[in-house]
Structure formats: structure tokens, C-alpha cells
Amino acid sequence: MRVRVSSSTLRRLEALEQRVFEVRPVAMWPKMIHVDKWSVIAANMQAALKADVRGGGSTQYSTSDVEQLELIASE
């Protein structure tokens, strides 16, 4: 069975196939680290959160804890 396709459709398809698509990250996730190191970071963050909930302030996490997390882009 033969299908007739117009030349303009073929040109548009060829142009689409020649395009270079930019790959952009969808989300950023922390890199997997050892559970012992993760538990120390999580405990520090939970302590900061608990103190701020009781005090009624906004949570300010330690920058040293956050800097230990390496983010990886998900595509």
C-alpha cells in the first residue's frame, strides 16, 4: 500500500530531524551519600526545624550542612 505525502510535509519533517534539541534538567536531586553521613546532616536539619517551630521563626539551616549535598540534574 502506498501513501502519498506532500513535499512540504517531507521538508518540515526533515527540518525537525535536523534540529538540535537542548537538554534541560527537570529536577535537581541530592547525590546519594553514605547513610551515616546523611543521618548527621538530617539530624542537624531536624534540630534547626524543631527549634524554629517552637520559637515561631523561619528555618535557617546551617550552610555547612547544605554545602555537603551535591545536587545532580535529572533529565
pLDDT digits (tens, 9 = 90+) for 7-58: 999 999 999 888 887 877 788 888 888 889 889 888 888 888 888 887 777 7
Q: Which residues pair with 74 in a beta bridge?
A: 27
- Taking the C-alpha atoms of residue 71 and residue 27, their distance in angstroms, rounded to an integer, is 9
The reply to whether 51 falls in a domain is yes
The one-letter amino acid code at 66 reads: V
What pTM does this model have? Answer: 0.46
* Residue 57: domain span: 23-74
Q: 52: burial class by Cβ within 10 Å (0-12, 13-18, 19+)? A: middle
The reply to whether 14 falls in a domain is no
The reply to whether 36 falls in a domain is yes
Count CA atoms closer than 13 A to 14's CA, side-chain side.
7
> How many domains, the chain?
1
The reply to whether 8 falls in a domain is no
